[in-house]
Amino acid sequence: MNYTPEQIAEIVLKVLNEVNAPNLSLEEKIELAQNPNTSAETLNVLATDRNNDVRYGVAINPNTPVEILKVLATDESYSIRYWVARNPNTPVEILKVLATNKDYSIRYGVAINPNTPVEILKVLATDKDYSIRYWVARNPNTPVEIHKLIRAYEFIMTLEDT
């Protein structure tokens, strides 16, 4: 469901006037969290919502400010951290931290993020998980040198298996 600018303004006022927006339906919160026109102030409130789906909406929103993404990068839910890793606005310092996360899906999110810099892709190119290396190779930022590194790593891994 797409809201008109007037409806968005009305919902934003509700959110700003009510801490954690208790009178807003879950559907309204999710729609508001995902809407690229939602204000930073409202996204900040929604980023603290108890419901994962609302925080997910904030994490995928292309206009979520960096400060909010930094907070969501430490969310208890791995799926929220995964979507932060995929968000093109996530700053390099957060991508660096997420690239070393023990959870495969979070490293995967960093590997496929089209804004992941070469220095982080280089680290992920030797990830123990084959699919992470695969997605690093598919990332548009991956230079030829890293492709060579991945092939060399694959070769070494096959030698260790024998």
Q: What is the per-residue pLDDT across 69-107, written as a single tens digit (0 to 9) for each?
A: 999 999 999 999 999 999 999 999 999 999 999 999 999
- What mean pLDDT comes out for the span 145-155? 82
Contacts of 121 (CB under 8 A, 6+ apart): 111, 136, 139, 141, 142, 146
In this prediction, residue 140 carries a pLDDT of 93
Could you tell me the pTM of the whole model? 0.79
pLDDT tens, 5-55? 777 766 766 665 554 555 789 999 999 999 999 999 999 999 999 999 999
